[in-house]
């Protein structure tokens, strides 16, 4: 399983911290499951991908929010074929990949009754293992507390918890809450 990164606000995060020297890694970008994060967290994921591309890394940003996909909204594109179609139905990465802001964006794709099956699919794990070997960094965007998130986390090297100023991370107490 992956190591947790220290919690930092997005404005203070060192965006190069998650990238290995060779730029090849699988990272989970985990957003809190709050209504407030539905706006800023997908934009933060795109911003991190864009920053790493500007530093010379090859980046793939994939939407693991299978029941509430959101990365396609920021890009202004439809959520057509994506991760679900690659993992479960054999679609090729080339077919579902869209170039956006210098990096590759993969939407969530087809609605599926059991999102956990996507995260546990052998094909997903082979792809996640192969992306770094191909010289790229894969960022999988997830929302904390999604039932399938732990299955996706089995295929990542590191977890980056996204946090917004003034919003407490899930499961953490405030100063007066204990």
Rounded distance between C-alpha atoms, residue 83 and residue 136, angstroms: 17
pLDDT(137) > 50: yes
Q: What strands, in cross-sheet order, belong to the sheet with 103-106?
A: 3-4, 158-161, 25-31, 137-143, 59-63, 103-106, 97-100
Rounded Cα distance, 149 and 68, in Å: 13
**pLDDT tens per residue, range 20-55:** 445 578 999 999 988 889 889 999 999 999 999 999
The mean pLDDT of 156-172, rounded to a whole number, is 72
CATH topology of domain 3-10+23-156: Rossmann fold (3.40.50)
Residues 64-69 have a mean pLDDT of: 94
Q: What share of the chain has pLDDT > 70, as a percent?
A: 79
Higher per-residue pLDDT: 22 or 85: 85
The pTM for the full model equals 0.81
């Amino acid at each position: 399983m992956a190591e947790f990164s220290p919690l930092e606000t997005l404005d203070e995060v060192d965006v190069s911290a998650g990238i290995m020297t060779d730029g090849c890694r699988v990272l989970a970008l985990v957003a809190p499951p709050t209504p407030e994060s539905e706006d800023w967290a997908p934009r933060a994921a795109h911003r991190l991908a864009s920053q790493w591309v500007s530093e010379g890394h090859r980046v793939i940003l994939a939407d693991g929010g299978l029941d509430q996909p959101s990365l396609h909204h920021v890009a202004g594109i439809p959520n057509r074929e994506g991760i679900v179609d690659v993992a479960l139905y054999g679609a090729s990465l080339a077919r579902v990949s869209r170039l956006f802001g210098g990096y590759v964006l993969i939407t969530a794709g087809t609605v599926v009754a059991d999102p956990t099956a996507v995260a546990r699919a052998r094909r997903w794990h082979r792809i996640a293992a192969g992306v770094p070997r191909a010289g790229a960094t894969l960022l999988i965007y997830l929302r904390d507390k999604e039932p399938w998130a732990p299955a996706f986390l089995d295929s990542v090297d590191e977890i980056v918890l996204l946090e917004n100023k003034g919003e407490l991370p899930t499961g953490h107490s405030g100063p007066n809450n204990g």
